[in-house]
Amino acid sequence: MTDNQKFSVSAEEREKQKEYMLLAGETVLSLFGPSPKAFVHTYGCQANVSDSERLKGMLSEMGFGFTDVLEEADLILYNTCAIREHAQDRVFGNVGALKNLRLAKKNLRIMLCGCMVQQASVAEKIRKSYSFVDVIFGTNAGHRLPEFVYRTLAKGEKICEIPQGDGFICEDLPVVRDSSFKAWLPIMYGCNNFCSYCIVPYVKGRERSRDPRLIIEEAENLVKSGYKEITLLGQNVNSYGKSPSFGYDFSRLLREINDIEGDFIIRFMTSHPKDCTRELLDTMASCSKVAKHLHLPFQSGCNRVLKEMNRGYTREKYLELLNYAYSVMPELSVTSDVIVGFPGETYDEFCETLDLIRQSRFTSMFSFIYSPRPGTKAAAMPDPVPEEEKGVWFRELLAVQEEIATKRTSETVGKTYRVLCEGRSKQGLVSGRTGGNVIIEFPGGDDCIGTFRDVTVTESLTWILRGQLCN
Ligand code: 5AD
Ligand code: SF4
């Protein structure tokens, strides 16, 4: 049995949900009239954003349009994140603020789903302390949204469905995409790596890869519909199709998507250094449509800490990989993630992280102070360094990265980049991204938006660039 068969939602379940879809549609129409509105908000990573596009697809099929104004909504759905405590606190705060709205509107429904509520203890806390929330459903139940909408609206049921298990792949869900020219394309779900600090494997289930034919078909359709950027998503795209029965790997998938005719670019994230091979870097280098941007989280520059994190590589292996990547793609832009203050990390060990940053020439970095996640291995490790001290280290790290980014971006002044124009900045300039994923802003008309333009860099501002249109 292939991965896809093992993880597929059964045909009976799909049929059942299609029936619920019709029933939910009728109920929504009778309660809210012809233009019901849903407010959908996503916390966390791109995988969640992509999942929400499917949730919106289902809501749209039930008749809902969408609003950004909470007070206008007939249904409020928060797709939540559990990666750090701060992310959870934000959700709790924002959900708490919905209480009066819910009490004032009899037919309003509040739904919470995703990673945060997949944790049994959190689901329990919401049931007890936020009893005005109508529906809670975990990461293994997203495809059952039609059922939940029907049961809560037609029957007035309070629902809490957090099925445990390895997770599903549900292929035939409708989708409402947030953009008409940039698309998220999930190629796999879940994670098997169990980095000791990380909650993801517990809340998003086992790693499972989508059928390559369906991914390629989706990419072809996106290009035909005018999409200019496709970002392939997975927690660790380098292990796509890793099970022996699959017979297909990420490099091959990249090459085949690169072969699709049309004017578009391909991005992917996230890469894991332990599975990132020279073959993949060679493939990136040789595929003209693949953006020369690699997001390669290193997390720590200290071998002892990396081992405790269960990352499966050393700092030497990481630096060697980067050197090879820069040797085959001199223009490559590398971004990364780093954690400061992992349990037991000493200041000297933290300095090894600073040293790795100095050697790596990252374009930008996402830096996080370690946040204990209940149930993970690291949460049980002794953690003697006080939070204030970690804050001091964190600011030191930001200063080092700022210095490096300033130098890197200033080197781009005078160069010309092909830029996908995305929208407008606060100052009214056109805002887009270079292949290296650096934001560049420049004067230009609305006709630029959603197209590629050549832009020459005139000024660098640490993290972003200013430029001038060439054409
Ligand atoms: N504490 C702090 N940062 C974390 N990350 C994942 N788990 C934690 C945690 N418990 C960071 C990692 C990962 C990014 C998505 O979030 O750097 O790459
Ligand atoms: Fe978390 Fe590690 Fe999986 Fe990334 S690879 S999602 S950090 S467990």
- Identical fold between 179-291 and 295-411: yes
What does the alpha-carbon distance between residue 108 and residue 105 come to, in Å, rounded to a whole number?
A: 5
- CA-proximal residue: ligand 2, atom 4 (nearest): 235
Task: Tell me the CA–centroid distance for residue 195 and ligand 2, in Å.
Answer: 6
Q: For every one of its 471 residues, what pLDDT tens digit does the chain have, with 9 covering 90 and above?
A: 555 668 889 999 999 999 999 999 999 999 999 999 999 999 999 999 999 999 999 999 999 999 999 999 999 999 999 999 998 999 999 999 999 999 999 999 999 999 999 999 999 999 999 999 999 999 999 999 999 999 999 999 999 999 998 999 999 999 999 999 999 999 999 999 999 999 999 999 999 999 999 999 999 999 999 999 999 999 999 999 987 778 899 999 999 999 999 999 999 999 999 999 999 999 999 999 999 999 999 999 999 999 999 999 999 999 999 999 999 999 999 999 999 999 999 999 999 999 999 999 999 999 999 999 999 999 999 999 999 999 999 999 999 999 999 999 999 999 999 999 999 999 999 999 999 999 999 999 999 999 999 999 999 998 999 999 996
pTM of the model as a whole: 0.96
What CATH number is given for 179-291 in this structure? 3.30.750.210
Task: Tell me the CA–centroid distance for residue 53 and ligand 2, in Å.
Answer: 23
Q: Could you tell me if the CB of 233 is within 6 A of ligand 1?
A: no
Q: Could you tell me if the CB of 84 is within 6 A of ligand 1?
A: yes
Q: Alpha carbon of 117 to those of 151, 178, 259: distances in Å?
A: 19, 24, 40
Q: Which atom of ligand 2 is nearest to the CA of 311?
A: 2
Q: Could you tell me if the CB of 202 is within 6 A of ligand 1?
A: no
Comparing C-alpha atoms, which of 305, 397, 296 is closest to residue 342?
A: 305
- CA-proximal residue: ligand 2, atom 5 (nearest): 193
Helix (H) or strand (E) holding 431, with range, is strand 430-433
- Strand locations in 176-254, DSSP E? 182-186, 188-189, 208-209, 229-233
Instruction: Looking at the structure, give the CATH architecture of the domain made up of residues 416-469.
Output: Beta Barrel (2.40)
Q: Which residues line ligand 2 (CB under 6 A)?
A: 191, 193-195, 198, 200-201, 235-236, 272
| DSSP codes, 349-392 | HHHHHHHHHHHH--SEEEEEE----TTSSGGGS---S-HHHHHH
Count, in order, helices (H) and strands (E) of the chain: 16, 19
Pocket test for ligand 1, best of 197, 238, 299 (most atoms within 8 A of CB): 197
- Which tens digits make up the pLDDT trace of 322-380? 999 999 999 999 999 999 999 999 999 999 999 999 999 999 999 999 999 999 999 99
Q: Could you tell me if the CB of 337 is within 6 A of ligand 1?
A: yes
What are the sequence ranges of the domains in the chain? 3-161, 179-291, 295-411, 416-469
Please enumerate in sequence order all residues whose Cβ is within 8 A of that of 244, keeping only pairs 6 or more positions apart, or say none: none
Top CATH class, 3-161: alpha beta
295-411 CATH, one of 3.30.750.200, 2.60.40.1190, 3.90.226.10, 3.40.50.300: 3.30.750.200
Q: Using an 8 Å Cβ cutoff, are 259 and 227 in contact?
A: no
Residue 471 is predicted with a pLDDT of 65
